[in-house]
Amino acid sequence: MRDTEEAGALRRGVRAGDRRAFTELYEDHARAVYNHALRLTGDWSAADDVTAETFLTAWRTRDRVEPDGGSLRPWLLVIATHKAENSNRSRRRKLAFLARSAPPPHVPDFAPEAAGRIDDARRLAAVHAA
């Protein structure tokens, strides 16, 4: 963990839009954000998306960061929680829609019949050739 002075400098850098400070923020907290998102979504791919969306939102709302204070991890985890809730809600809606949708029409499998015709044509060609 950073001491208060380092955390304040990082906060000020993030707030000012300093890319190096934001990179440092990402390197310090991406793993914790991902693990938090994974616990909330239960899905590795969704956790990746939530992590990316969290840092994108953090970048877009960096002007709201108070210049003084401690770690930004709680702020990032709150953003990740909201993003994970949105992801879970979206997944539930998709599953509910699919459950209500009519199943696709049955398409018969013509492969065995086609294979039989090909075999018959080969045999017939062999008979004609003989």
In a domain, 72, yes or no: yes
E-only strand ranges, the chain: none
3-state secondary structure of 125: helix
In a domain, 73, yes or no: yes
In a domain, 37, yes or no: yes
Q: Whole-angstrom Cα distance, residue 35 to residue 55?
A: 14
Sign of the CA dihedral running 84, 85, 90, 93: positive
Count up the domains in the chain and report the number. Answer: 1
**Would the pLDDT of 108 be above 60?**
yes
Taking only the tens place, the pLDDT of each residue in 36-48 is: 999 999 999 999 9
> Could you list the residue range(s) of the whole structural domain that residue 88 is in?
4-103
Give this prediction's pTM.
Answer: 0.73
C-alpha 11 chain-centroid distance = 27
Taking only the tens place, the pLDDT of each residue in 115-127 is: 889 999 999 998 8
CATH number, domain of 89, equals: 1.10.1740.10
Residue found under tokens 């045999």: 123
- What was the pLDDT predicted at 63? 93
